[in-house]
């Protein structure tokens, strides 16, 4: 049982002293020489140095004309500069909007136009990127990697740090179900990520590793967690599977958020379990999480969450029976599972998850410039997630599917998530994705795209034969294709609409007619 001191989202979220800029200032005043941020390329800062850097960025922004309420965009990767810009913008009342520099064409145009921002901060290699689309009025500001951007700048005086209800940042959704939407996140919601991993599990000796992009909340959650205990954060600009373990060992990293499938694909080594990592956050396949835990001797933690809802459900101890629960509600959150008729479904049945936070500011304040979408997503304080879950007898929750990802074949609703988990249990399968493709008779038929495990060669017919022994007949795929990679969003979610769009019947293996 997790106690109040280990996880109290409302208490932490509403405490002005735990707002990230104020917490960093607290450490900077008391222990300015305590190490805080370390880039794998060598640049580092203490808590005291980082606070000076934040104040310098405040000066830069004010001299550029940034005023409270203004919006500015950042294409900066996970780095000291990106973190300082984020916190400085929030400290002067501006809105930092993180933009994925890998976007191109209409996707980039939408990302630059929608925030209605005047400034865009970029690394040198992206200096020309905003000019490749027809969005006018953007001032591009180039920030070198060497820390020289703020050299010689007089640190600003900050008389009052942000309050929990103030805006921390804007993070855009992945765009898996339509055009990306800007999710407005408060400092309270950022603070409430503390406790997903119980607070007593961390100390000043801990080091969190992150290589996630700043346009994903996963890149930001280490900051409140480590500033809570005075720990350190190691930053890599872009994920490198080949460098992951060397980074972890070199910097003594004790915690990270991991993509289990990518890391497990590496050949096994005798010293796999000889590493400093103690606890890892993950999502997706439970089978892969179990394999990761066993191979690398790491305690795994999983959560259900989203940019809008934060992390209301957490699984800190995986069930020994292999169950697929994504965990229990955190303290103060309430949940409903609602059917298509608007009524709550019975335990064990799947329904759309509605989340009610302990205080309103622990979920998104709304979608940037889209009051209509905000009103439809948050009704009477309940956030409608668009995800189907079921409540288990012990009160925990099991993720079923994105409602739009449910496959309906011959009148049967099929969870693509459950199907993918079963297929990933095959010894030759590394990763997979399941989608429904149109069929005039069945309504939808099942298409499976699989990535083989390292060294494996998958014969589609043989894989289908093995699946027929473990899947009910209505869940057996009609179509199967072996791929080297799956189409993904910038936040590593599978773009299933792309799989559907690429489907050509004569280009995939098809189950022989009975």
Three-state SS string over 271-288 comes to: CCCCCCCCEEEECCCHHH
Whether pLDDT at 423 is above 80 = yes
6-27 mean pLDDT:
97
182 domain residue, yes or no: no
pLDDT at 288: 83
129 domain residue, yes or no: yes
Percent of the chain as helix, strand, coil, to the nearest 5: 30, 25, 45
Largest Cα span, the chain:
77
364-382 mean pLDDT:
96
Position of tokens 């007949």? 473
In terms of average pLDDT, the best of 95-109, 162-176, 222-236, 304-318 is 222-236
Using CA atoms, how far residue 80 sits from 193, 226, 288, 349, in Å, is: 20, 15, 32, 46
Question: pLDDT confidence of 364, banded at 50, 70, 90?
Answer: very high
Whether pLDDT at 6 is above 80 = yes
C-beta of residue 299 within 8 angstroms of C-beta of residue 293: yes
Give the least confident one: 151-165, 192-206, 485-499. Answer: 485-499
Q: Model confidence over 303-348: pLDDT tens digits?
A: 999 999 999 999 999 877 666 788 999 999 999 999 989 999 999 9
Q: What angle do CA 139, 142, 144 make, to 5 degrees?
A: 165
- CA 164 to CA 360: how far, in whole Å? 11
Nearest Cα to Cα of residue 36 among 23, 49, 25, 54:
49
Structural domain boundaries enclosing 82: 20-162
Last residue of a domain, one of 162, 189, 208: 162
Three-class DSSP category at 280 = strand
101 domain residue, yes or no: yes
Q: Model confidence over 46-61: pLDDT tens digits?
A: 999 999 999 999 999 9
- CA 171 to CA 373: how far, in whole Å? 15
Distance of CA 357 to the CA centre of its chain: 19
Between 404 and 363, name the one with better pLDDT. Answer: 363
175 backbone φψ class: left, alpha, beta (φ>0; ψ -120 to 50): left
Torsion sign across C-alpha atoms 481, 472, 497, 387? negative
Whether pLDDT at 284 is above 70 = no
Q: Which long-range contacts (CB under 8 A, 24 or more apart) does 506-509 make?
A: 507/481, 508/447, 508/479, 508/480, 508/481, 509/460, 509/461, 509/464, 509/479, 509/480, 509/481
Write the CATH number for 95.
Answer: 3.40.50.980
Distance of CA 83 to the CA centre of its chain: 17
Portion of the chain with pLDDT greater than 70, in percent:
96
How does DSSP classify residue 406?
Answer: -
CB-based burial, 398-436: b 16+ in 10 Å, e otherwise:
bbbbbbebbbebeeeebbbbbbbbbbbbbebbbbbbbbb
C-beta of residue 330 within 8 angstroms of C-beta of residue 363: no
193-209 mean pLDDT:
97
Whether pLDDT at 177 is above 70 = no
**Model-level pTM?**
0.84
- CA 213 to CA 492: how far, in whole Å? 10
Question: pLDDT confidence of 490, banded at 50, 70, 90?
Answer: low
Q: What angle do CA 409, 448, 461 make, to 5 degrees?
A: 105
- CA 431 to CA 449: how far, in whole Å? 8
Three-class DSSP category at 54 = helix
Token pair belonging to 145? 């990697």
175 domain residue, yes or no: no
Q: Model confidence over 287-304: pLDDT tens digits?
A: 888 899 999 999 999 999
Whether pLDDT at 415 is above 90 = no
Last residue of a domain, one of 135, 162, 189: 162
103-109 mean pLDDT:
81
Token pair belonging to 77? 């990767």
Token pair belonging to 488? 């993904």
Between 122 and 262, name the one with better pLDDT. Answer: 122
304 domain residue, yes or no: no
C-beta of residue 362 within 8 angstroms of C-beta of residue 381: no
On the 0-12 / 13-18 / 19+ scale of CB atoms within 10 A, 253 is buried
pLDDT at 187: 98
Position of tokens 């043989």? 462
- CA 104 to CA 113: how far, in whole Å? 13
* Pairing mode of beta strands 71-74, 95-98: parallel
434 domain residue, yes or no: yes
431-438 mean pLDDT:
91
Q: Model confidence over 72-87: pLDDT tens digits?
A: 999 999 999 999 999 9
Token pair belonging to 84? 């300082």
DSSP symbols for 340-383: TTSSBPPTTSEEEEEEE-SSGGGS--EETT-HHHHHHHEETTEE
Token pair belonging to 79? 């780095």
- CA 54 to CA 59: how far, in whole Å? 9
Q: What is the mean pLDDT of the chain?
A: 92
C-beta of residue 249 within 8 angstroms of C-beta of residue 385: no
Write the CATH number for 442.
Answer: 3.30.300.30
Q: Model confidence over 130-156: pLDDT tens digits?
A: 999 999 999 999 999 999 999 999 999
479 domain residue, yes or no: yes
Q: How many domains does the chain have?
A: 2
pLDDT at 322: 62
**Residue spans of alpha helices (H) in 174-257:** 187-191, 222-229, 241-251
Q: Model confidence over 266-283: pLDDT tens digits?
A: 899 999 999 999 999 987
Nearest Cα to Cα of residue 396 among 342, 330, 332:
330
Element containing residue 164 per DSSP (H, E): none
Three-class DSSP category at 486 = coil
CB-based burial, 164-188: b 16+ in 10 Å, e otherwise:
bbbbbbbbbbbbbeeebbbbbbbbb
pLDDT at 194: 97
Last residue of a domain, one of 137, 162, 187: 162
Token pair belonging to 275? 């590493």
490 domain residue, yes or no: yes
209-228 mean pLDDT:
95
């Amino acid at each position: 049982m997790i106690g109040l001191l280990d996880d109290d989202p409302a208490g932490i979220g509403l405490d002005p002293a735990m707002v990230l800029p104020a917490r960093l200032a607290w450490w900077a005043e008391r222990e300015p020489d305590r190490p805080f941020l370390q880039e794998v390329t060598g640049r580092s800062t203490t808590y005291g140095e980082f606070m000076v850097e934040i104040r310098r960025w405040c000066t830069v922004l004010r001299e550029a004309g940034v005023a409270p309420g203004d919006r500015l965009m950042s294409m900066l990767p996970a780095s000291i500069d990106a973190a300082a810009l984020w916190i400085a913008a929030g400290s002067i009342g501006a809105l930092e909007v993180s933009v994925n520099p890998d976007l191109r064409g209409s996707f980039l145009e939408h990302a630059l136009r929608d925030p209605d921002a005047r400034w865009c901060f970029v690394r040198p290699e992206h200096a020309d990127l905003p000019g490749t689309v027809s969005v006018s009025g953007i001032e591009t500001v180039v920030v070198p990697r060497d820390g020289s951007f703020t050299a010689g700048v007089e640190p600003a005086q900050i008389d009052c740090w942000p309050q929990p209800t103030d805006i921390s940042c804007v993070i855009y959704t992945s765009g898996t179900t339509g055009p990306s939407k800007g999710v407005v996140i408060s400092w309270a919601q950022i603070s409430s990520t503390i406790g997903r991993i119980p607070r007593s599990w961390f100390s000043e000796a801990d080091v969190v590793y992150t290589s996630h992009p700043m346009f994903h909340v996963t890149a930001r959650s280490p900051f409140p967690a480590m500033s809570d205990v005075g720990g350190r954060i190691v930053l890599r600009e872009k994920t490198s599977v080949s460098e992951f373990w060397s980074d972890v060992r070199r910097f003594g990293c004790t915690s990270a958020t991991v993509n289990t499938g990518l890391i497990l694909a590496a050949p096994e080594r005798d010293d796999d379990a000889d590493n400093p990592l103690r606890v890892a956050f993950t999502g997706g396949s439970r089978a892969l999480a179990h394999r990761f835990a066993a191979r690398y001797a790491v305690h795994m933690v999983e959560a259900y969450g989203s940019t809008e809802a934060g992390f209301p459900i957490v699984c800190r101890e995986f069930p020994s029976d292999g169950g697929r629960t994504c965990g229990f509600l955190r303290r103060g959150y309430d949940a409903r599972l609602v059917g298509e008729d608007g009524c709550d479904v019975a335990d064990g049945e799947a329904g759309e998850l509605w989340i009610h936070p302990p205080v309103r500011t622990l979920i998104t304040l709304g979608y940037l410039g889209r009051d209509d979408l905000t009103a439809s997503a948050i009704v009477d304080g309940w956030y409608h997630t668009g995800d189907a879950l079921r409540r288990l007898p012990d009160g925990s929750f099991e993720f079923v599917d994105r409602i739009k990802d449910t496959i309906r074949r011959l009148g049967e609703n099929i969870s693509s998530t459950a199907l993918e988990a079963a297929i990933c249990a095959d010894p030759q399968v590394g990763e997979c994705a399941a989608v429904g493709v149109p069929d005039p008779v069945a309504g939808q038929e099942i298409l499976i795209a699989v990535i083989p495990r390292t060294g494996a060669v998958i014969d589609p017919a043989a894989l289908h034969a093995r699946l027929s022994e473990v899947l009910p007949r209505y869940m057996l795929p009609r179509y199967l294709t072996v791929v080297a990679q799956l189409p993904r969003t910038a936040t590593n979610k599978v773009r299933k609409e792309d799989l559907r769009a690429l489907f050509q019947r004569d280009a995939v293996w098809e189950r022989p007619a009975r």
